[in-house]
Structure 1
Amino acid sequence: MKTILYYLGLAALFTHELDAVLNMEWRLLFHLRVLPDAAASSIFIALHLPLFFAFFYFGHHKILKIRERFRLIVAVFLVIHSGLHFNLSDHELYQFNSIISNAYIYGAALCGLAFIILSWIHRRENDA
């Protein structure tokens, strides 16, 4: 079940990142918002290459401990990411107002939270 939650959370996050390009999310980011849209959008998209590589590489690492820790870090990030979006939702340049945009953001967070809870339960069972 944890694996399904991890992949579902990633799928929601990756889909959100596609939506983020449409909603010009770079306008909310400190270093990118001062650049012209053409430059900022190119940098925003390019930064996703190493980010997505890390998700695939470490999320499938052959060493179980690395893979599990990375997936837990991603799960925590999914929850924090939704909090950042919630805090920015009143910003004048925030455009993630549709139901589907919010479903990607908060759906990923729910998967992350469920993953964290299941990891905690599994750890307690193994420690007992």
Structure 2
Amino acid sequence: MKGQIFFYLGLSLMAMHEMDAIRCKEWRIFPGLSMLDDKVGHILFLFAHIPLFYFIFWKLTNNKNIESFIYGFDIFMIVHLGLHILFLKHKNNEFKDWISWSIIVGAGLCGLIDLVI
């Protein structure tokens, strides 16, 4: 396996983004979750990340074809950036500061760079 510095940097930025997403109440943007009371939306959004991160860590440690997972996650980081751009004008979008956007764009760029090199 080649060095994956940009993949792991992107994964770290995605983990930071999920922490920032709690602060920015990202569940308010998602169809379905946006209709929930803030307390319920927060709890569901928070606990939904347990199986998501478990899956990522499991795939990185128990996968015979780790390269295909990394390739797919690189694409996900790019698509994720695109979705944030698409929903930039959403009325409940609170990702407005340079910190949030540095994390989001950084993860997307890491995914792109990892695919290219």
1:126 — aligned with what? none
2:11 — aligned with what? 10
d(CA) in 2 for partners of 1:62 and 1:23? Answer: 33
Asked if structure 2 preserves the Cα contact closer than 8 Å seen for 1:2 and 1:115, the reply is no
If you compute each CA radius of gyration, which structure gives the higher value, 1 or 2? 1
Gaps of 5+ in 2: none
Gaps of 5+ in 1: 119-128
Asked if structure 2 preserves the Cα contact closer than 8 Å seen for 1:9 and 1:108, the reply is yes
Structure 1: which 4+ aligned runs deviate by more than 3 Å? Answer: none
Calculate percent identity across the aligned residue pairs: 34
Shift of 1:59: 1.9
Shift of 1:60: 2.6
Confirm or deny that 1:56 pairs with 2:57.
yes
Alignment RMSD (CA, Å)? 1.1
1:94 — aligned with what? 93
2:104 — aligned with what? 105
Shift of 1:2: 4.2
Shift of 1:88: 0.6
Task: Give the SS at the match of 2:77.
Answer: helix
Count the aligned residue pairs.
116
Shift of 1:5: 0.9
Confirm or deny that 1:33 pairs with 2:34.
yes
Kindly tell me: are residues 62 and 29 of structure 1, through their superposed partners in 2, closer, same or farther at Cα, counting changes over 3 Å? Answer: closer
